[in-house]
Amino acid sequence: MNLLATTSTVAISCYALLSTAYKGMQVAYAVPTNGPLASDDPAGSDPLPSVDVIIPCFNEDPSTLSACLASVADQDYAGELRVYVVDDGSRNRNAVEPVHDTYARDSRFHFILLRENVGKRKAQIAAIRRSSGGLVLNVDSDTTLARDVVTKLASKMQNLSIGAAMGQLTASNRSDTWLTRLIDMEYWLACNEERAAQARFGAVMCCCGPCAMYRRSALLLLLDQYETQLFRGKPSDFGEDRHLTILMLKAGFRTEYVPDAIAATVVPDSLGSYLRQQLRWARSTFRDTLLALRLLPSLDRYLTLDVVGQNLGPLLLALAVLTGLGQLALTAEVPSWTVLMIVSMIITRCSVAAFRAGQLRFLGFSLHAIINILLLLPLKAYALCTLSNSDWLSRGPAANVPNSSRKLGAIQRPKLVASDGTCSDER
């Protein structure tokens, strides 16, 4: 029994030391510096680059898709803007046709209709290969952009050493449930602590899918690797944002975070859908960790601590909790040191977040710790044991149609370009 108590004490103490070190440095590096960074210097009087906005969608709610397209159409960008909406074989295509028809009247909008669901990654590539703008902005179909997002991201990308940049994410449905409120705070912390600290060194480790801009010249160099990512010999169909970001860093480009480029995305409003999302994300994170480890020698030492903390920290916490529960079950003794350390760290983190954000609601983020300990830690262990599983869980497996996106073209309604390159009058 002493072994259980000792193991729990040692594990939680190591977790506390590791977490304090990397979280403390994270908060310090996330604080904005005075004056512009070198990466913010504009490229003189060069004309603004053309931007292609790519929006893959699958079975999207028509009102949600309409809000997304309206926010893109309303962008206050002085340069050339083109929009490619890729319908990835949606089964509700009849329902979204009125939305397509509305924006097909705008010459900036182009629609690519795929006969079969090939997955988000190949849907993106279908538009990337067809478009020609200097910059490519990937936007999820359930995301709405503030009017200045394209301008602010494109301004950041004026530095030619930057291959990708992401904006700040918020939950558009934050007020719906207690869970969406927690996720909104989770996004704030992920953006304004984790990504902001990583951006200090030009190495954001994941430019999030809902709103991320890429330099086309860099993207084209990596497109084949991006399209053909395999894990244990099987296509990897999710985690595309993290993998593409790692490829950018591996190729020597900087990746940045722009906190005042605000994008609001729909987040899960039920625990089941949230856990399915987290399972996908955990698998993609584990898959790309090895690739990220190979980068660390060329990056700042803080980033090594950050990666180690994010991957080793949960394992130490899980070990402390499991051995602590074992001690409680077998001896009826409460692992007081373990409980005290966990509670104190939760209170400290939430208090710091509330101070930095200037919002007392972040004190309520302590509720997320319960979800993390009881649900997310076991889920991450399950993800580690099922890394070869590529199901999206919320959308079903994508059709395996290698490179079919290269044969598909943009259309004006009502023409539909088939996978063999011929046209039909399907609606």
**Pairing mode of beta strands 51-57, 135-139:** parallel
Q: How many whole angstroms separate alpha carbon 72 and alpha carbon 62?
A: 15
- Single out the residue in 243, 262, 292 at which a domain terminates: 292
Task: Write the burial class of residue 66 (CB in 10 Å: 0-12 exposed, 13-18 middle, 19+ buried).
Answer: middle
Domain containing residue 98: CATH number: 3.90.550.10
In a domain, 399, yes or no: no
- The pair of structure tokens assigned to 14 is 């190591």
Q: Same domain, yes or no, for 233 and 310?
A: no
Per-residue pLDDT tens digits for 77-105: 999 999 999 999 999 999 999 999 999 99
Neighbouring-strand partners of residue 234: 231
In a domain, 41, yes or no: no
Task: Tell me whether residue 394 is in a domain.
Answer: no
Q: Residue type at 150? A: V
Q: Higher confidence at residue 393 or residue 343?
A: 343
How far, in Å, CA of 195 to CA of 97, rounded? 37
CB-neighbour burial class of residue 383 (10 A; exposed 0-12, middle 13-18, buried 19+): buried
Are 124 and 183 contained in the same domain?
yes
Domain assignment present for 400:
no
Residue among 159, 169, 215, 174 at smallest CA distance from 191: 169
Co-location of 124 and 219 in the same domain: yes
- Segment 190-211 mean pLDDT: 96
Residue 337 lies in a domain: yes
Number of domain units in the chain: 2
Domain presence at residue 418? no
Instruction: To the nearest 10°, report the CA torsion of 26, 31, 37, 41.
Output: 120
Tell me: pLDDT of 419 over 50: no
For the chain, helix, strand, coil in percent to 5 are 55, 15, 30
- State the SS3 of 375-426: HHHHHHHHHHHCCCCCCCCCCCCCCCCCCHHHHCCCECCCCEECCCCCEECC
Share of the chain above pLDDT 70, in %: 86
Are residues 283 and 313 both part of a single domain?
no
- Clarify whether residues 280 and 209 are in a common domain: yes
For residues 281 and 285, what is the distance between their CA atoms, to the nearest angstrom? Answer: 6
| Residues 57, 139 within the same domain | yes
Domain identity same for 167 and 308: no
Q: What is the pLDDT of residues 231-256, one digit of tens each?
A: 666 666 667 899 999 999 999 999 99
Write down the residue that tokens 């086309």 correspond to: 216
Residue whose structure tokens are 């190591």: 14
- What is the rounded (10 degree) CA torsion for 106, 241, 150, 203? -160
Residue 105 domain-assigned (yes or no): yes
Number of CB atoms found within 10 A of residue 233's CB: 6
Both 10 and 156 in a single domain? no
Residue 146 lies in a domain: yes
Q: Please check whether residues 314 and 270 belong to one and the same domain.
A: no
Residues 100 and 241 in one domain: yes
Residues 60 and 10 in one domain: no
Q: Do residues 88 and 58 make contact, with C-beta atoms less than 8 angstroms apart?
A: yes
Q: Do residues 133 and 13 both lie within one domain?
A: no
Q: Is the pLDDT of residue 405 over 80?
A: no
Range of the domain at 276: 48-292
Residue 35 has pLDDT above 80, yes or no: no
Using DSSP's 3-state secondary structure scheme, residue 60 falls into coil
Residue 160 is predicted with a pLDDT of: 95
264: three-class secondary structure by DSSP: strand
